[in-house]
Structure 1
Amino acid sequence: MGEHHSITITEQLLESEDFMYKRGVLQQYHHSLGSLDAALHALVHNIIVGENQKGEVVEAMQQETRSYMMRNQLLLNQLGNRVTRSVAALDDQIDDRKSQQLTLTYENTPSG
């Protein structure tokens, strides 16, 4: 009886594919959120400043609106970064699934 040997190889089962185009769809939503936020800020600003409103309440509303806009902008920036990282991670995960590790076991029998 011969000796048993094993060899492990990684085989690419499917071709790699770039999924970074998926980022565009998510970025459209990101852009829409930014546009909606800017429109809300402009509307509030026009109501307060456009009608020449004055006083402590108006100033507090303006400050709160600016603060809200800045928080939203920070969140949108984080979202943009996360979209890029998430799509890149998805791309890597899909590529990893397209290859498979195979272990071949064979018996080395003397010829004779």
Structure 2
Amino acid sequence: MDNERSIKVTERIFELQNFDHKKPILNYYVDYFFQVDSQFFTLFHNLIINEQQKGEIVEAMKEESLNFAKENILLLNHLESRVDELVRELESQINEMNLQDMTITYKEHVKDS
């Protein structure tokens, strides 16, 4: 007499992935954004402030540009602090996708007594 049995297992299809090598690339671009942002605000400052421009509109532009620069720095600092976390999340998602649930069905032969 044969009894059909099943077991469920989870198997890893591929090796665990490590994406630490992506951190320097991401950090490079965060640094690049810092540089571009700094260059832009230096240029803006040189055009508006160093040219001794005066008036309400110029003052409003100065104030808005300072607020904008502060917001950009906060966002870039936040992004810089999240690089490690983002890489870990990517690793986790990729490694989770590399798991496959399987059901193995087999017949167990039982001898009649």
- In structure 1, the residue matched to 2:61 is 61
Tell me, yes or no, if structure 1 residue 13 matches structure 2 residue 13: yes
* Inter-partner Cα distance in structure 2 for 1:93 and 1:51: 52
Paired position in structure 2 for 1:96:
96
CA contact 2:3–2:108 (8 Å) conserved in 1: yes
- Scaled by the length of structure 2, the TM-score of the pair is 0.77
Q: Cα deviation per residue 1:62-99 (whole Å; 9 max; x = unaligned)?
A: 10110121222233234445554443222112112323
Instruction: For 1:60, give the aligned amino acid.
Output: A
Paired-residue identity, % = 37
What is residue 70 of structure 2 aligned with on the other side?
70
SS across alignment from 1:21: helix
Superposition TM-score, scaled by structure 1 size? 0.78
Q: Is the Cα–Cα contact under 8 Å of residues 23 and 84 in structure 2 kept in the other structure?
A: yes
Aligned pairs, number: 112
- Report the RMSD for the aligned CA atoms in angstroms: 2.3
Are positions 1:48 and 2:42 aligned together? Answer: no
Counterpart CA distance in 1 for 2:5 and 2:109 is: 11
